[in-house]
Structure 1
Amino acid sequence: MTSPIPPRPTRRRRSVLAAGALLIGALTAATACSTASDSSDDSAKDTAKNAADAKSSGTPAASGTVLQVVAAENFWGSIAEQLGGDHVKVTSIITNPDADPHDYEPTAADARTMATARYAIVNGIGYDAWATKLVDANPSAQRSVLTVGDLVGIKDGGNPHRWYSPDDVHRVIERITADYKKADPADAAYFDSRKTDFENRTLGEYNSLISGIRTKYAGTPIGASESIVSPLADGLGLKMLTPYSFLSAISEGSDPTAKDKTTIDHQIAAGQIKVYVYNSQNATPDVQAQVKAAKAHGIPVATVTETLTPAGASFQQWQVAQLKGIEQALAKATGK
C-alpha cells in the first residue's frame, strides 16, 4: 500500500486577478529571453529515473534533432520523456508533490520554458488554466499543443483527472507519438519503436495489474475521498458508491453537503463499501473522519496521490505502487 504523505492544505482556487501581476511579469520575461527554463536542472533531477528507463531500449538515433517539450504536470511529462528518448528534452512545470496544479502560479522561468518549446502538453478541463494562459500569451508557429481534455472529449466541468483513466492514458501515448513524428519525421521509426516498447514492456506491470483487478474484483463497491479516484474505478471495473457531489466538492476545495456526509457515514457503518480510497495529498477533516471510521469498521483503506510521488518516480512506478495497494485492499476485503 502506498504510504500516506503529509496532506497539502485544502485547495481553494485563487482568483485570476490575484495571480495576474505575477503572470504578466512572467510573460514579459519570456519575450526577452530565448534560453531554456531556469527550472530545467531541477526537472532533470526529478526525472532522472524516467530518463534511465527510457534510454534502456530504443532504436539508434537517426538524426541529431532534440525537441524542446514542456508538460504542465509531471505525470504527462514522464510519459512524454519516455516516449521521446534521446530526441526530446522535457521540462515539467509541476514537479513538487506539495504543489496544487489547480491554483499554481506560473513563474518567469515557466514562461520562458513555454516560449521556447516546440511541443506543449496541458491537461485542460479547467485543471490547469494557468498553463493554457501561458500557451496563449506566447504564440509560436513552431509549437504544437496537446490539450488532453480536447483529445479525450471531456469539456470544462467534467472530471479532469484523465491520467487515472487507463484508456485515456493510452490515447495520450498514441497522440504524443504521432505529434513527435510530425515534428521530427526523420526519426519516425525511432518514435514508433519507443512507443511499442513503452506500451508492451515498460507499462507491462501497469497493464497487467489493471487487467487482473478488473477480472477478479469487477463490481466490488468502494468509497473514495474525491473525484480523482473515479476514472481509475471505472478502468478497474469497481462500483463507486460515494456520491459524486461529495467527490467533486473535495476535489474542488468546496464544502460537502451534510446530506452527502450522512450518506457516506451510513455506507461505512453498514459495510456497504468494501474498500475506501483517498487522496493523501488532500486529506481534509471530512476525509480524515471517513478514513478513521472506515478503519474502525474493518474496511481496508488505500491511498493515491494527485502527482508523482515521490517526485522522481516515473509514471509507471507511481501507478503500479498505487494499484498494488488497491489490489491488496480488495483482496483483504473480499478474501479473494
Structure 2
Amino acid sequence: MNTSRLAPLLLLPAAALLVSGCSAAAGDTASESTGIRVVSSTNVYGSIASAIGGEHVDVTSIITSAAQDPHSYEASAQDQLVISKADLVIENGGGYDPFIDALVDAAGADDLEMVNVVDLSGLAPVDEADSADEHGAEEHGADEEHSAGDGHGHVEGLNEHVWYDLATADALASTLAHVFSQLDKENASTFAENYTAFSEDIAELTASTDALATEFDGAGVAITEPVPLYLLEASGLVNITPEEFSSAIEEGADVSPASLRDTLAVFETSDVALLAYNEQTSSPQTEQVRAAAEQNSVPVVSFAETLPDGEDYVSWMAENITAITDVLRS
C-alpha cells in the first residue's frame, strides 16, 4: 500500500484560550465516540492531542504508566480494537514504539491518518530515511526510517525521545491542528485557537531554556540514558557521559566493567552540574552511578518517559525546566 506525504506544516493563525480534551487509557475507551477518535502510543502525545482538539476529540493513550516500556510493549486485543476505530494515530517512530506499526498494519485501514513524530522532528539522520511506504494509512511527516538500526529497531544515531525537543512538540501541535481541521472543518477555528495558545506556551518554555543556555553554556551533565538530552542541550548543557554506558542502559544490554568504571570516574575527574536520571529504567549499574553522583555532591534530577499523573505536556516540561534551573542556580 502507498503512503502519501504531508505538505509543509501549516502554522494556523488565531488567538484564544487553550481547551483541555478528553483522554483515556486504551482499556477505558468510551463505547460511543463524540469527536475525532485519536489513538496515541503514549500519554505524552495524548496530552498534546487533547490540548489542540479540546472537547472535539476523544483521545486514547496506550502507554500511560511508568511500568510500561514502549520498546517491548505487547499490544492487546483491546489495543487492536481502539486502533481499528481510530480516525488518527500518533506514533513516536524511530523504533521507539514499534507495536503501533504492527497494530496499524493489522487494522489495514486505508483511510487512517497517521502522524509520526520522529519524522516531523527532522532529527533523524538523513541517510537513514527509507523511501518505501509501510502503511496504507495517510502518514503525516517524512517517510519513517526503517533501514539501519540496532536489534531493538532504533535508528542508529538518533535519540528517539523527541518529545523532549520543544520545537518538535510545537510541530506536532501544528500538524494536529491542521489534520483535525481537515477531519472536522466546522471546528477548525477552535483547533487554530488552541494551537496558538499551545504554541505561545512552548515559546515561553523555549525562552526559559534559552536563558539557561546563555547563563550556563557548556556546563557538563551526566545521564543514565539520553531520554531528556534534547531539553538538557537546549539549556546549554553538554553530555560528558561515556556513550557506551548510556547506550547499553537504554538498550537493556550488559554494561562492560570498563564502561561502568569510566562513567563512575566522571564524577571524580570532571565538573558535573547534575546527573539526569531516568526513573523508568533503573538497574544496579544506574544505582551505582547515582551513588557516585551523590558521593561527589552532584545533584540528581529525575526524568521520565511518560506523563506524570495530573500533568499536561506544558506543565510537565515547565517542571522539568524548573528542576534544571533550581540545580544550576543553587
Q: TM-score, normalised by structure 1?
A: 0.76
From the two aligned structures, give the one with the greater helix fraction.
1
1:85 aligns with 2:85: no
Equivalent in 312, 316, 328 of residue 326 of structure 2: 328
> What secondary structure sits across from 2:231 in the alignment?
helix
What residue in structure 1 maps to residue 274 of structure 2? 275
1:183 aligns with 2:183: yes
What residue in structure 1 maps to residue 79 of structure 2? 110
Equivalent in 299, 316, 319 of residue 318 of structure 1: 316
Q: Which string of whole-angstrom CA distances, capped at 9 and with x for unpartnered residues, describes residues 213-265 of structure 1?
A: 22222211111111113222222221110122221211111122333222222
Q: Shift of residue 288 of structure 1?
A: 0.8
What residue in structure 2 maps to residue 235 of structure 1? 234
The 2-side partners of 1:234 and 1:274 are apart by 13
The within-5 A match list for 1:110-259 is: 110-153=79-122, 154=124, 155=145, 156-157=155-156, 158-201=158-201, 203=202, 206-259=205-258
Do the aligned residues in 1 keep the contact of 2:93 with 2:119 (CA within 8 Å)? Answer: yes
The 2-side partners of 1:198 and 1:152 are apart by 17
What residue in structure 1 maps to residue 152 of structure 2? none
Q: Which string of whole-angstrom CA distances, capped at 9 and with x for unpartnered residues, describes residues 100-127 of structure 1?
A: 1111111111111000000000111111
Alpha-carbon spacing, 1:100–1:264, altered in 2? closer, same or farther (3 Å): same
Gaps of 5+ in 2: 1-24, 125-144, 146-154
Do the aligned residues in 2 keep the contact of 1:124 with 1:150 (CA within 8 Å)? Answer: yes
Higher RCO by CA contacts (8 Å cutoff, separation 6 or greater): 1
The 1-side partners of 2:249 and 2:26 are apart by 33
Alpha-carbon spacing, 1:281–1:237, altered in 2? closer, same or farther (3 Å): same
The 1-side partners of 2:264 and 2:34 are apart by 57
Do the aligned residues in 2 keep the contact of 1:37 with 1:112 (CA within 8 Å)? Answer: no
The 2-side partners of 1:284 and 1:322 are apart by 22
Q: Shift of residue 38 of structure 1?
A: 4.2
Gaps of 5+ in 1: 1-35, 42-63
Segments of 4+ moved more than 4 angstroms: none
Do the aligned residues in 2 keep the contact of 1:304 with 1:322 (CA within 8 Å)? Answer: yes
What residue in structure 1 maps to residue 298 of structure 2? 299
> What secondary structure sits across from 2:171 in the alignment?
helix
Alpha-carbon spacing, 1:92–1:322, altered in 2? closer, same or farther (3 Å): same
Do the aligned residues in 2 keep the contact of 1:167 with 1:235 (CA within 8 Å)? Answer: no
Question: Alignment RMSD, CA only?
Answer: 2.0
What residue in structure 2 maps to residue 308 of structure 1? 307
What residue in structure 2 maps to residue 8 of structure 1? none
The 2-side partners of 1:230 and 1:37 are apart by 29
Equivalent in 74, 87, 100 of residue 69 of structure 2: 100
The 1-side partners of 2:274 and 2:254 are apart by 23
What residue in structure 2 maps to residue 23 of structure 1? none
What residue in structure 1 maps to residue 283 of structure 2? 284
The 1-side partners of 2:263 and 2:26 are apart by 45
